[in-house]
Amino acid sequence: MTRTIIGLSGNLDRPSKTRTLVQTAVATVASRFEAVGAVFDLADFGPSLGTARRVGDLEPPARAALDAVLAADALVVASPVYKGSYTGLFKHLIDLLDPQALLGKPVLLAATGGGDRHALVIEHQLRPLFGFFEAQTLPTGVYAADRDFAEGQPASAALHDRLARAVDQFSPFFERRAQPEVFVLSA
């Protein structure tokens, strides 16, 4: 069974540090666990996202992107910090989801910002949001400040170490799913 890891970057800009961080995380997970990965950002959802009041209002490309996110075995989700929290359009996308859509799904949470003062956005904004959906957020969140990038790519040793720690925390989820179920019938 092929496992999937999908990244969701909560911004519209391309290129962006947030998308690059998500791409790096997804590529690392895909390599480590022999999974198939893909990354979406809000631009992939197109203009119908901003006007959608329910999932059924999304245009077909947006619905296909959302279906890929929901069908994934695991997620990497990140947002740039905007006024101390995740972006509004990112939250709008999450608001469209059924409350049980992410039940039990392992999620690596990440964020990017200009400096260290926004590092707690993962703990104070993203973790409670995904806790509402009963997703299994990994213990290690990955925050990256501008100084952690060089030429638009994750570059600092501390960032790479934290990302490696977070990726390793997918192990119980992928290893458990990779093993076939065995049923023992007793007489």
Q: Is residue 42 part of a domain?
A: yes
Of 37, 153, 16, 150, residue with least CA distance to 81: 16
Total domains, the chain:
1
Q: Which domain holds residue 100?
A: 4-178
Is the overall model pTM greater than 0.85, yes or no?
A: yes
pLDDT tens string 102-121? 999 999 999 999 988 899 99
Q: Is residue 51 part of a domain?
A: yes
| pLDDT at res. 1 | 73
What whole-number distance in Å separates Cα of residue 25 and Cα of residue 84? 23
pLDDT tens string 27-36? 999 999 999 9
Q: Is residue 125 part of a domain?
A: yes
Q: Is residue 12 part of a domain?
A: yes
What whole-number distance in Å separates Cα of residue 25 and Cα of residue 34? 14
Of 146, 149, 141, 147, residue with least CA distance to 169: 141
Q: Is residue 131 part of a domain?
A: yes
Burial class from Cβ neighbours inside 10 Å (0-12, 13-18, 19+) for residue 76 reads buried
CATH number at residue 121: 3.40.50.360
Q: Is residue 142 part of a domain?
A: yes
Of 143, 176, 177, 146, residue with least CA distance to 25: 143
Q: Is residue 183 part of a domain?
A: no
